[in-house]
Structure 1
């Protein structure tokens, strides 16, 4: 039975129905009454999938967190490298100036 509300497709992120799509009216998302539309679009995940998928998602999220950390560390190293390059250029300039002064003084 439908209430006439706007129907939208959603994805379940619970361990028992991970990745399983369903459609629901906007009202049934807030109130699971009998007059509102709510229906699974995908078949239930097999028992083995229900065992494996949550662990795989945890591993994937941990890897994504590790990647973010590595990207932050990479940016820090790149920033330090830029700073060292600037300092190197400044020192090369100063050495060049000292060389000019030494030649002038001779």
Structure 2
């Protein structure tokens, strides 16, 4: 399955001084991560698809994984990135690989 992916290894993350998840917006095309001023609740946009509301009853359109584990809400996903091996950003619909909540990537 052809996939548009941005893969960043630890060396690249260190070279560009990526210190938290918001900094990834500078390295991955069509990715925008913004803190909405409510602590650690980001607004994540990939190719115009937004993570949307972080309410408990709403499934996000952007799937977020940490160490292979699905994070159901974006609450708390603005965090410092220390000792990160790699980051992968998959753009576009990924429902066949990651389920229905991966409309945006």
TM-score by length of 1: 0.17
Give the number of the structure whose residues are more often strand, by fraction: 2
Give the number of the structure whose residues are more often helix, by fraction: 1
TM-score by length of 2: 0.17
Higher relative contact order (CA 8 A, sep 6+): 2
Q: Which has the larger radius of gyration?
A: 1
